[in-house]
Homo-oligomer: A and B are copies of this chain.
Amino acid sequence: MTTSLERLFNPSKVAVVGVSADPTKLGTVVYDNIEKSGFDGDLYPVNPKYREIYGKKCFSKVSKIPGKVDLVIIVVPSIFVFDVIKDCARKKVPYAVIISAGFSETGFEGRKLEEQIAAFAREHGVRIIGPNCLGVTFTDSKLNASFAVQAPMPGNVAFMSQSGAFNTALLDLADNRKLGFKYFVSLGNKVDINELDLLTEWLQDDSIKVIGAYIEQFSDGRRFLDIIANNKKKPIVLLHSGESEAGKRAVASHTGSLAGSANVIRAALRQYGVIQVDSEEKMLSALMMFSRSEIPDSNKVAVITNAGGPGIILTDHLEKNGLELAKLTAETSSIIKKSLPPAASIHNPIDVLGDAMSDRYKAVLDTLDKDKNVDAIIILLTPQLTTQIEDTAKLIINYDRRTETPIIPVFIGEKYVMQGLDRLWSNQIAAYQYIEEAVFSLKQMVAYKEFTEKQGRRSTISTTPGRSSRQVRSFASENEEVLKEEITKDICKEVRMDLPREALVSTLEQALDFRKKAGTPIVLKAVSEDVVHKIDEKYIYLNLDSEKDVEKAFKTLYKKVSSLVSPAKPRLLAQEMIMGGVELIVGVDREGSTTTSGFGHTLLIGTGGIYTELYKDTALRVLNITKDDASEMLAETKVHKILTGYRGQKKLAVDKVEELIMKVQRMVNFYPDISSLDINPLIVTEDRAVAVDVKLFVKKR
């Protein structure tokens, strides 16, 4: 699957099937676009109706073209597509882009046809992009095989999209900002080539600086993550849409409903350093930033502004986004003071005042450039009476060429500032019209920087099957089932999970004896198999301390259970009561068992007990994770403050919780049929993290 797509991206011979004498037909538009884009290979029009078209020999079918054809663009009605693909197979064409619509997006019949074509093509080695797409543009090969009204400019961005309309909108926005693309691919129905194929290629291509993607459904979430993890690193900006629907799906286990599919996707992508956006404006802003700016060393930002108010608004947004105003060195401040009028503010944000011409911006830039505390510079400009918009733009362009510190101009306005913005964009500066766009984009760069710094943490996956594999598998079926309590406990013990000490007791003496040995109050409860579906009555007695308490509870419970198991003799479960701890919840859910995104097992940890669903104070990761990740997860929760000694209280066994997380992960690796797991509560005391109630669910993978 990871064959290089070299011949796709750099084809020598390209054919367009469906060129017609009518210039408004899609096939003709695509053919025209390829001609106009200056494609330097050979281009062949194909249509059995014509012998010659637009001054060129027209072929009746692809197989009539002499020599090897690398790429065929298909723009014929859907009912003819299969024939064209068969012809391509005959000709041993390696790649086809099916632009034609009328397939799975239209319903059952279309889906059937699409599947037939896909199966045939797979068998005969024809790899397909589409169907139902806008086409592809590879600017390096000067090939614009698309019916979009605009052609992307060349550049260092690679972009793919499951929505053709998103492509066209982004193109129109990018055009204005002179944002260029090396690849611009409309994925369509993804019958064969999908985001995984392109990502694999693009991550290894050094001429690409940033990858953008609009995705509605992940073809394989787990593989998506693995490709990111195992390939050369570069920023990926991704818009995953349709998240509002996802939450509605009914999920069986408690954990699942907390995690929710959209949350899982968001957590998984963040874990792997993917930059996530939720709108076309943010996609554009982030792509422009990563395409043009260097990644800053830190979140320390200096601001130069000719506008007090907007400077304050910018400061608010910086803080809200975790970016910091750099503390300027004394030297910087003293030089700036000399260069600016007395009324100017020499603190960060540096206010060069409303009447500033470009020389004041220059004086400050000269100094900031040398300040080691400054890792990014935002230049705010509003159009005032004496503002030199174009001169300031020129100045910024010069500085940007000389320095590695990202310089981000924000020229707020429209008509008056546009000439400045145009100049900046034409010179490949990441300039913005609105404060929020700039701050959002810079924040993404800083977040990416932080991600790359903690990278390298990999967790090896154990594939050793657990000792109880046979028992577990016998439980796993098409439906999710609760695993038997005995097996659950065996498995927990296998990974050395800390469980409450317990004993089966048949007599009061045994119960009292257990109480004595336990050294803590105890719990008496019915064995779970005995009371399945008996939720209306009380079969559990907590906090039994004195002999009297134990006796009273034992007798009552014994009587109740007798009537259930008669004529067998009842057995009761005595457990130590874990005192004075904090309740957490730990959950595992196998994504893909309930949704299609398939990110594999996810692990959730957070506040347990009655507050679990109320505060939804949780952290989420896809497995596998390292112990550092486990520690980071805990630190993300609010309950972490309590664990680490909240308001003068004692510190609890955080290390034991981290160990427990790793044990749970090991368990899931040993028993991949585990579809979900709930530990609620996990009680954390000063020296233990005890899994008081563990439920395991299994389901065939």
Contact = CB atoms under 8 A, between A and B. Distances in A.
A163 B309 contact: yes
Interface string A271-283: 0000000111110
B310 A175 contact: no
**Copies of this chain, count:** 2
A632 interface: no
A646 interface: yes
A312 interface: yes
A67 interface: no
Interface string A288-328: 00000000000000000011111011011111100000000
A385 B414 CA distance: 28
B385 A244 contact: no
B172 A383 contact: yes
Contacts of A414: 172-173, 175-176
A435 interface: yes
A161 interface: yes
A163 B241 contact: no
Nearest to A439: B279
Contacts of A391: none
Contacts of A308: 163, 165
A552 to B, nearest CB: 16
B316 A169 contact: no
A385 B26 contact: yes
A516 to B, nearest CB: 22
A309 B162 contact: yes
Nearest to A386: B24
A143 to B, nearest CB: 19
A434 B614 contact: no
Interface in A113-151: 147-150
A308 B165 CA distance: 7
B312 A412 contact: no
A410 to B, nearest CB: 10
Which of A315, A434, A646, A647 is most buried by chain B, counting CB atoms within 10 A of its CB?
A434
A607 to B, nearest CB: 9
Given A149-B383, A279-B434, A414-B175, A166 B310 contact: yes
Nearest to A165: B307
B106 A343 contact: yes
Contacts of A279: 313, 317, 434-436
Given A102-B343, A149-B385, A169-B382, 19 more contacts: A26-B385, A148-B384, A149-B384, A163-B312, A164-B384, A168-B383, A172-B414, A172-B415, A176-B415, A278-B317, A279-B313, A279-B435, A280-B313, A280-B412, A280-B434, A282-B436, A610-B642, A611-B611, A615-B638
A472 to B, nearest CB: 30
A112 interface: no
B168 A29 contact: no
Contacts of A168: 307, 382-384, 413
Nearest to A436: B279
5 nearest CB pairs, A to B: A163-B309, A165-B307, A172-B413, A244-B319, A176-B414
Interface string A434-448: 111100000000000
A80 to B, nearest CB: 18
B242 A312 contact: yes
Contacts of A436: 279, 281-282
A359 interface: no
Nearest to A325: B244
A617 interface: yes
19 contacts: A26-B385, A102-B343, A106-B343, A163-B308, A164-B384, A165-B382, A166-B307, A168-B307, A172-B382, A172-B415, A176-B414, A214-B309, A239-B313, A241-B312, A242-B312, A242-B315, A281-B436, A614-B642, A614-B646
A416 B646 contact: no
A638 to B, nearest CB: 5
Given A172-B413, A414-B175, A414-B176, A610 B646 contact: yes
A434 B281 contact: yes
Contacts of A647: 610, 613
Contacts of A164: 309, 354, 384
